[in-house]
A and B are shown apart, each in its own frame.
Chain A
């Protein structure tokens, strides 16, 4: 997690870079947690190797295809940051490097086109919504199964195929009001980020988040003016675009006690706003303030403390640590504590919890083969728990793992921590959670 007072890196000269690179003593403790090292066993696709490549670049080696390929292959899961005993800031290093790649490196045409499509679509809820209609129609017509079987998309573009596979089954997406009032005595006023993918593809999660917050005594403010938080752009080195999104998000959320975020990737990037806008005098202070008030959903509820009654929910749950929650924000204990506080709920740990599921923001769209393999590994570990329900705090993870499980012929119900809590607070039958797969 980036401290808000960390000075941002002005491009292209990055004064902090040599120090950041020097922190690495080459011990290799990061290797076993790095998803690409786990997959390929190659030094240059490990954090230690990538830092070595960064150093080579800093010492004058050009950003060639080979080097950029290894930077692109990084999922940005930050498991290495957690594992590093020397406190190496790989999160900063890869961000600086990605921005450098975007500035300096000419990508091949086909790659550029896919990236342009992804970044023109996902950060824009309205565009995603426009896609929902045709997608629902396509699914309902059974065309999806036909297309999958034909392998047509795989031949055209593995990335397009990945997008198609990952799309969850869509139900109606209710709009949330601009304000939801606290139940039984207000304890706080919180803003709620609705996200892009979350809002369009998992509207139930946002509804559950708002209900839980309200039931726990929060006035929930949901500014209609909010847009994308900029996470996808920031994590892909598109810094200018990220700053634009950040400024808009800050403007939308000033005036609440806390901003509660239920998507791990969004939360982690909002906590980095201070660094992102440090060089813009008009925004630096506001950005740092907002970053300081940003909380993950589970983190916030743990701080607030429980008030509403938890009703029994007899269900076995495999809890998945989203990288941007566990590694980037250090939030591991809180969601587990929230879940295990529900009577009747049984929490099962997934083996190799530190290793990314392969979703990683846009990774599963840009590097579908590697993402698929990681998804398969995670799916196997999830399956081994024999839990009835998979719970994760990031929409990308849920889609990714559910898709991988489906490939293995095993459907599992998925839910967000908020939905489980919502079901408990409202005394719903666990079957309402188990009935749904993505």
Chain B
């Protein structure tokens, strides 16, 4: 522990009590990674504050000491966005978990950042409302984490992302000031850029979320096709018909096999692809569109269509999809979860290319995706006991991202860039694009202490004048940064 950190430890113990500061190396190690385990760094110090005022004080102390800090919610992120710094402080928000206010007439709730996503919906369900962003980790991910990652979920096709459901945030800025960023306030939409900034522009200490009216009806359908291409055709037909379902999910044969092995979801045997389509809204509207979708699936060649008659049947349909990630662990010793986006019309082409990639390399790829918005989650399977297999899988996984970029898509639809994909950013954006984005960071965090090393492969020196850099970046020269 450096002198600066041990000074902070003492100060934080006075502030939070001994139960709020972790210094023991064995305990610290349990915070070395979030939901992505291939990046690990044992933090120098972990603090567990109880409220926003304490977070502000912690940040100010870190800034005064020149010590970097990282905020962490439930630690479920899949891009290493909450990866600690070995020389820094990890600020954990899991004890800030009060639902401070539910205001049904104004369709909003004020919550602390550690509140679990699903607990917001639980708190307002009796009033006929819910919190729309539903990442698949919603039973444990925190609202603060959702804000950092601009989380979506299966239903963001219709309802949008966290950015569309946050009305304001009380934020501790990277310099330790407390400021309220509100969507309504005149001036720059700093809230809009704060949401999704992966914790690099400050720490949200209170979040006012928009509540969404529970739909009158929900209808879910499962359609089985003999090939992914036919499934893709059905998706295009549905969107082309002017229907915006709440969710359209697709799974390929390999992921169906895994789900079957894990939860016996009973999907139609022999399916090369299944499509799950969910509609919600006013009853008459849903009924009309449901008939339309059914017909479109049949036209596209669905050989079996199942309709969930009740919540239990709906849960059964979703069970296979929701278990798919974990289930793949049962058909392969190890796997990488990729997250890329393509325009949905490119789906058949890109899937064929992924197939070819898989055949060429001998690396199996299972495909699970949010088909409605072209968000692919290829699961790249490998055996970690086999020498070189992990590297080959990593290569295939990277090549899939290149495919996404080539087709005008994105390297991440919902998992974020974090530390894991920073090296891919220059493939999607020019140096000037990245430099321009980092101007925002320099405005918020001139000292560069707030979650440094995330999103951008090369930090921007905040003092320098805008313009394209020529030659070697000074930080690279000093060995403080790496261009990958």
Direct A–B touching in the complex (beta carbon < 8 Å)?
A: yes
Most buried by B among A25, A49, A70, A83: A25
**B478 at the A/B interface (Cβ < 8 Å)?**
no
Q: Which one, A28, A67, A83, contacts B74 given CB within 8 A?
A: A28
Q: Mark B75-119, 1 if CB is under 8 A from A, else 0.
A: 110000000000000001011010000000000000000101000
Query: Which chain B residues (109-131) contact chain A, with CB distance < 8 Å?
Result: 114, 116
Minimal beta-carbon separation of A413 from chain B (angstroms): 27
Q: Contact size class for A?
A: 20 to 34
**A427 at the A/B interface (Cβ < 8 Å)?**
no
Q: In the complex, A40→B92 CA distance in Å?
A: 12
B116 and A32 contacting across the interface, CB-CB below 8 Å: yes
Question: Within 8 Å CB of B140, what residues of A?
Answer: 28-29, 31-32
B137 and A29 contacting across the interface, CB-CB below 8 Å: yes
B329 and A43 contacting across the interface, CB-CB below 8 Å: no
Q: Mark B127-142, 1 if CB is under 8 A from A, else 0.
A: 0000000000101110
**B48 at the A/B interface (Cβ < 8 Å)?**
yes
Q: In the complex, A260→B76 CA distance in Å?
A: 42
Minimal beta-carbon separation of A135 from chain B (angstroms): 35
**B35 at the A/B interface (Cβ < 8 Å)?**
yes
Question: Within 8 Å CB of B24, what residues of A?
Answer: 66
B35 and A41 contacting across the interface, CB-CB below 8 Å: no
Most buried by A among B30, B31, B76, B92: B30
Question: Within 8 Å CB of B94, what residues of A?
Answer: 41-42
A26 and B35 contacting across the interface, CB-CB below 8 Å: yes
B97 and A61 contacting across the interface, CB-CB below 8 Å: no
Query: Which chain A residues (5-56) contact chain B, with CB distance < 8 Å?
Result: 23, 25-29, 31-32, 40-44, 48-49, 52-53, 56
Closest to B322 in A: A85
Closest to A67 in B: B26
**B27 at the A/B interface (Cβ < 8 Å)?**
yes
Q: Which one, B30, B37, B262, contacts A49 given CB within 8 A?
A: B30
**A157 at the A/B interface (Cβ < 8 Å)?**
no
Query: Which chain B residues (60-79) contact chain A, with CB distance < 8 Å?
Result: 74-76
Minimal beta-carbon separation of B28 from chain A (angstroms): 9
Question: Within 8 Å CB of A26, what residues of B?
Answer: 33-35, 37
Question: Within 8 Å CB of B116, what residues of A?
Answer: 32
B26 and A41 contacting across the interface, CB-CB below 8 Å: no
Question: Within 8 Å CB of B27, what residues of A?
Answer: 44, 66, 70
B97 and A41 contacting across the interface, CB-CB below 8 Å: yes
Question: Within 8 Å CB of A86, what residues of B?
Answer: 326, 329
Minimal beta-carbon separation of B93 from chain A (angstroms): 9
Q: Which one, A25, A29, A31, A67, contacts B329 given CB within 8 A?
A: A25
Q: In the complex, A61→B25 CA distance in Å?
A: 10
**B325 at the A/B interface (Cβ < 8 Å)?**
yes
Q: In the complex, A43→B43 CA distance in Å?
A: 13
Minimal beta-carbon separation of B338 from chain A (angstroms): 15
Q: In the complex, A40→B114 CA distance in Å?
A: 12
Q: In the complex, A64→B94 CA distance in Å?
A: 25
Q: In the complex, A314→B329 CA distance in Å?
A: 49
Q: Which one, B30, B37, B326, contacts A53 given CB within 8 A?
A: B30
Question: Within 8 Å CB of A42, what residues of B?
Answer: 22, 48, 94
B30 and A61 contacting across the interface, CB-CB below 8 Å: no
Q: In the complex, A49→B28 CA distance in Å?
A: 10
Closest to B119 in A: A32
Closest to B78 in A: A27
Query: Which chain A residues (258-290) contact chain B, with CB distance < 8 Å?
Result: none
Query: Which chain A residues (47-80) contact chain B, with CB distance < 8 Å?
Result: 48-49, 52-53, 56, 61, 64, 66-67, 70
Q: In the complex, A28→B32 CA distance in Å?
A: 14
Q: In the complex, A25→B329 CA distance in Å?
A: 9
Q: In the complex, A42→B95 CA distance in Å?
A: 8
Q: In the complex, A60→B76 CA distance in Å?
A: 27
Question: Within 8 Å CB of A61, what residues of B?
Answer: 26
Most buried by B among A25, A43, A61: A43
A43 and B31 contacting across the interface, CB-CB below 8 Å: yes
B139 and A32 contacting across the interface, CB-CB below 8 Å: yes
Q: In the complex, A197→B473 CA distance in Å?
A: 72
**B442 at the A/B interface (Cβ < 8 Å)?**
no
A28 and B326 contacting across the interface, CB-CB below 8 Å: no
B114 and A41 contacting across the interface, CB-CB below 8 Å: yes
Query: Which chain A residues (76-112) contact chain B, with CB distance < 8 Å?
Result: 83, 85-87
**B308 at the A/B interface (Cβ < 8 Å)?**
no
B95 and A25 contacting across the interface, CB-CB below 8 Å: no
**B323 at the A/B interface (Cβ < 8 Å)?**
yes
Closest to B72 in A: A43
A43 and B30 contacting across the interface, CB-CB below 8 Å: yes
**B8 at the A/B interface (Cβ < 8 Å)?**
no
Minimal beta-carbon separation of A43 from chain B (angstroms): 4
Q: In the complex, A27→B262 CA distance in Å?
A: 17
Question: Within 8 Å CB of B31, what residues of A?
Answer: 43
Known: A41-B92, A41-B95. A52 touches B30 (CB 8 A): yes
Minimal beta-carbon separation of A350 from chain B (angstroms): 14
Minimal beta-carbon separation of B58 from chain A (angstroms): 16
A43 and B37 contacting across the interface, CB-CB below 8 Å: no
Q: In the complex, A41→B93 CA distance in Å?
A: 9
Question: Within 8 Å CB of B141, what residues of A?
Answer: 28
Closest to B262 in A: A87
A85 and B326 contacting across the interface, CB-CB below 8 Å: yes
Closest to A37 in B: B94
Q: In the complex, A87→B258 CA distance in Å?
A: 14
Most buried by A among B29, B114, B140: B140
Question: Within 8 Å CB of A48, what residues of B?
Answer: 30
A-B pairs with lowest CB-CB distance, top 6: A85-B326, A41-B94, A49-B30, A28-B76, A41-B95, A43-B30
Residues of A at the B interface (CB closer than 8 Å) are 23, 25-29, 31-32, 40-44, 48-49, 52-53, 56, 61, 64, 66-67, 70, 83, 85-87
- What are 12 A-B pairs with beta-carbon distances under 8 A? A27-B35, A28-B75, A31-B140, A42-B22, A43-B30, A43-B31, A44-B30, A56-B29, A64-B26, A66-B27, A87-B262, A87-B330
Residues of B at the A interface (CB closer than 8 Å) are 19, 22, 24, 26-27, 29-35, 37, 48, 74-76, 92, 94-95, 97, 114, 116, 137, 139-141, 262, 323, 325-327, 329-330
Known pairs A23-B329, A25-B37, A43-B30; list 4 more (Cβ under 8 Å). A28-B76, A32-B116, A40-B19, A44-B22
